[in-house]
């Protein structure tokens, strides 16, 4: 699984993360890759079916009715599940910080509207 183009995936589906560094995005990609490899350890061929994030593949599939902005729906689904799991873990480990970040996010969100 090549993570070279993972930042493009993140920027496509999470534009609100545009202020985080490339190194942070790569770290998220590494953690997501580990998560998927653990989930698909006995069936890695299934993982390869939806991992293609090569820009040419994505651009060629932008208008495809079963793709999501050129990405396989399973990739998008598993990433959203990964994010939800990470968020829950963070809330359990850092409840005060999680609440502070949520309030800051809500405040910034209301300013944009």
Check residue 113 and give its pLDDT: 63
Q: Which of 59, 60, 76, 79 is nearest to 68 (CA)?
A: 76
The answer to whether 75 and 51 are in contact (CB under 8 A) is yes
Check residue 80 and give its pLDDT: 93
User: pLDDT per residue over 89-113, tens digit each?
Assistant: 988 998 888 888 888 878 877 776 6
In a domain, 1, yes or no: no
In a domain, 58, yes or no: yes
Token look-up 């090569």 returns 54
In a domain, 64, yes or no: yes
Could you give the number of structural domains in the chain?
1
Check residue 27 and give its pLDDT: 92
Higher pLDDT, 50 or 30: 30
């Amino acid at each position: 699984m090549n993570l070279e183009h993972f930042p493009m995936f993140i920027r496509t589906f999470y534009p609100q993360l545009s202020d985080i560094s490339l190194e942070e995005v790569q770290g998220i990609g590494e953690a997501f890759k580990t998560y998927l490899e653990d989930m698909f350890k006995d069936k890695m061929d299934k993982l390869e079916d939806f991992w293609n994030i090569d820009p040419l593949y994505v651009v060629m599939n932008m208008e495809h009715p079963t793709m999501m902005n050129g990405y396989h729906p399973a990739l998008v689904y598993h990433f959203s599940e990964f994010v939800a799991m990470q968020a829950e873990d963070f809330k359990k480990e850092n409840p005060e910080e999680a609440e502070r970040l949520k309030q800051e996010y809500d405040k910034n969100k209301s300013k944009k509207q």
